[in-house]
Amino acid sequence: MGSSFGQLFRISTWGESHGGGVGVVVDGCPPRVPLAAEDLQVDLDRRRPGQSRLTTPRQEEDRAEILSGVFEGQTLGTPIAVLVRNRDARPEAYEDFKDVYRPSHADYTYQAKYGIRAWMGGGRASARETIGRVAAGAIARKVLEMHGYGPITAWVSRVRDTEARVDPLTVTRADVDAGPTRCPDAEAAAAMEAQIDEARRAGDSLGGTVSCVALGVAPGLGDPVFDKLEADLAKGMLSLPACKGFEIGSGFAGTRLKGSEHNDAFYAEEGQVRTRDNRSGGVQGGISNGEPVVIRVAFKPTATIRIEQETVNQNLEPARLAASGRHDPCVLPRAVPMVEAMVALVLCDHLLRQKAISKP
């Protein structure tokens, strides 16, 4: 249980870090969506390791193969299976963790839950699991585009205490991808890059936040009461590795305002209901209101570090652990495509749900 996401546009990911590969099955994609493996590869390339010195040096091409559900360049309406083989697996690099639990990682909890764990590379609690999500997210984007939705753009908005200034209404993927940090504020990006590099050299790690905006979202997406758009977004984000928090619109900061300061005044423009501010983050009562959907996501510092830490082994004996292996000093740059993918998946699912109840 637990490896599927979505009700109508439903994805099921599978795969461990060091097994035969990782992948995803997408069930519920509408037919006749133009799709090719290259469409997935663009996003997978933004997610894969080894892109810069800010990310893990593990070398994986992460070439996606579409095994089913596509015929002569179009989706069939049947399940789309995507496979990515694991190539640069080095199980020997994980011998340290075979017997000793990494602090703040999933080693102990997997053992406690299942009584067994794939200790090589964290098994399923590896960032490699997100390959399937990113591939599926690329497919979801194609469906959204087909229905006239605008771009979904995420960026690194804070690393440790370095906050970026970014206008969510104008930021583009090109801005984001201009540097290895995926922060479109050049000044902040430079500071972040220096910080991450310093952490890397010190064998330490850093956390921060990723922000994301979705434009051109039609009003009416989101199902009250449990499947509110923000509830599904929150679930999607908190299901990402290392995520510790989520907020939409004004979020935690907005709770410091009075109602009279916080409320989004309505006005009409070109036959559309608009809001003067967008403190709601594009969602009211769980349903999109046509304004940009804006969220922010907290990612903790990577758990696996080279600095020695106190821990225990499987026999509950005290142990010390200084991790070798290849690890990201900061997950944020690679988290950007993951956040975008989860947003795309949630929107696409709710788009199909909304179509189901549309007028005959």
Q: Which of residues 200-229 bind a copy of itself (CB under 8 A)?
A: 204-209, 219-228
Region 164-183 residues binding a copy of itself, contact defined as CB under 8 A: none
Supply the minimum distance, in Å, between the C-beta of residue 316 and a copy of itself: 4
Site string for a copy of itself, 318-337 (x = CB under 8 A): x-------------------
CA dihedral 217, 219, 220, 223 (to 10 degrees): 50
Region 279-318 residues binding a copy of itself, contact defined as CB under 8 A: 279-281, 283-290, 298-305, 307, 309-312, 316-318
Residue type, 92: E
Structure tokens at 237: 């984000």
What is the CA 356 to chain-centroid distance, rounded? 27
**Smaller CB separation from a copy of itself, 178 or 218:** 218
- Judge residue 356's burial from the number of C-beta atoms within 10 Å of its C-beta, 0-12 exposed, 13-18 middle, 19 or more buried: exposed
| Sole binder of a copy of itself in the list 48, 142, 158, 200 (CB under 8 A) | 158
- Judge residue 304's burial from the number of C-beta atoms within 10 Å of its C-beta, 0-12 exposed, 13-18 middle, 19 or more buried: buried
Supply the minimum distance, in Å, between the C-beta of residue 291 and a copy of itself: 11
DSSP 3-state of 42: helix
140 binds a copy of itself (CB under 8 A): no
| Sole binder of a copy of itself in the list 151, 177, 238, 326 (CB under 8 A) | 238
For residue 297, which of 221, 175, 207, 173 has the smallest C-alpha distance?
207
- Judge residue 177's burial from the number of C-beta atoms within 10 Å of its C-beta, 0-12 exposed, 13-18 middle, 19 or more buried: middle
151 binds a copy of itself (CB under 8 A): no
Residue pair 158/208 in contact (Cβ under 8 Å)? The answer is yes
**Smaller CB separation from a copy of itself, 31 or 150:** 31
Region 12-71 residues binding a copy of itself, contact defined as CB under 8 A: 12-16, 19-23, 25, 27-28, 30-32, 65-71
For residue 97, which phi and psi values (nearest 5 degrees)? -95, 0
Supply the minimum distance, in Å, between the C-beta of residue 282 and a copy of itself: 10
